[in-house]
């Protein structure tokens, strides 16, 4: 008797994955961890709970994957120019907080370390992002684009903080204008910062910044 070969399982539907990730990010941004559940995500994404559990066994795994897809924004870019790399980094930050995942990113900063079973996974994600950003600056130092004693930590803190604060302090009715102006603002921010670094202010270029200076 001839037996039929085993049938492959149904392939995952990328559209379902996208809808679930979008729904998870929106829900987390609106309600935080307290209001986050597989049931609520399924309802918002118009998919069955079983479809979600086939992909992600727990709500923690679901949220981590959604955050990785929508909030894991720092790419280890290397254009050969520190200025261009930092502009791209600034644009990534601006695009994140101006986009649909902006509220979730803010929630993540407030609640990420307090969510049971999630802190370690989020910590690994953040570590990879920090390494990518610091690698950008280290390459710039090796190429001689900024002084060797520059504090990588303070440079990145200033860049990330400047871009984030710019979005958060812009009135909602001005957001569309800010989106249209994001490229120009990223260039202005980076040029201002690199100008300050190359002028050699003690807080950025001497390396004498206490425990925060980690080259």
pLDDT band at 39 (very low <50, low <70, confident <90, very high): very high
- As a dihedral over the C-alpha atoms of residue 120, residue 41, residue 58, residue 112, rounded to 10 degrees, the angle is 10
Determine the pLDDT at residue 75: 65
Please report the pLDDT score of residue 72 as a whole number: 61
Helix (H) or strand (E) holding 161: helix 152-168
Q: State residue 172 phi and psi, 5-degree precision.
A: -55, -40
pLDDT given for residue 212 in this prediction: 33
Segment among 61-70, 121-130, 169-178 with least mean pLDDT: 121-130
Of 64 and 116, which is predicted with more confidence? 64
CATH number of the domain at 141, please.
1.10.357.10
- Tell me the torsion sign for CA atoms 43, 49, 53, 57: positive
The pLDDT of residue 206 is 45
| 160 membership: H or E segment, kind and range | helix 152-168
Residues 189 and 107 in one domain: yes
Is the per-residue pLDDT at 156 higher than 70?
Answer: yes
Domain that holds residue 199: 72-212
The residue among 33, 52, 69 that closes a domain is 69
3-state secondary structure 51-94: HHHHHCCCHHHHHHHHHHHHCCCCCCCCCCCHHHHHHHHHHHHH
CA pair distance 145, 198, nearest whole angstrom: 9
Q: Would the pTM count as exceeding 0.75?
A: no
Of the ranges 9-13, 111-115, 152-156, the best mean pLDDT one = 152-156
Calculate Rg over the CA atoms of the chain. 21
Q: Report the distance separating Cα 119 and Cα 186, nearest Å.
A: 31
pLDDT value at position 56? 92
- Confidence band of 1 (pLDDT split at 50, 70, 90): very low
Residues 104 and 57 reside in one and the same domain: no
* Last residue within a domain, chosen from 35, 52, 69: 69
Mean pLDDT of 101-124: 77
37 and 133 belong to one structural domain: no
The answer to whether residue 3 is domain-embedded is no
Question: What pLDDT, on the 0 to 100 scale, is given for residue 12?
Answer: 64
């Amino acid at each position: 008797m001839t037996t039929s070969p085993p049938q492959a399982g149904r392939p995952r539907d990328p559209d379902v994955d996208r809808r679930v990730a979008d729904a998870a990010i929106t829900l987390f941004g609106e309600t935080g961890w307290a209001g986050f559940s597989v049931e609520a995500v399924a309802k918002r994404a118009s998919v069955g709970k079983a479809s979600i559990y086939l992909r992600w066994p727990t709500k923690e795994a679901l949220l981590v994957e959604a955050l990785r897809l929508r909030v894991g924004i720092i790419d280890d870019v290397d254009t050969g120019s520190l200025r261009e790399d930092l502009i791209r980094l600034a644009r990534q930050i601006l695009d994140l907080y101006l986009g649909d995942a902006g509220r979730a990113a803010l929630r993540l900063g407030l609640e990420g370390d307090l969510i049971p079973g999630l802190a370690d996974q989020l910590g690994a994600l953040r570590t990879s992002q920090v390494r990518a950003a610091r690698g950008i600056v280290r390459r710039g130092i090796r190429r001689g684009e900024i002084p060797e004693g520059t504090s990588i930590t303070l440079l990145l803190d200033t860049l990330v903080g400047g871009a984030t604060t710019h979005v958060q302090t812009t009135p909602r009715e001005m957001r569309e204008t800010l989106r249209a102006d994001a490229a120009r603002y990223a260039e202005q921010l980076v040029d201002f910062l690199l100008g300050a670094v190359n002028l050699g202010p003690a807080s950025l270029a001497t390396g004498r910044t206490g425990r925060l200076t980690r080259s």
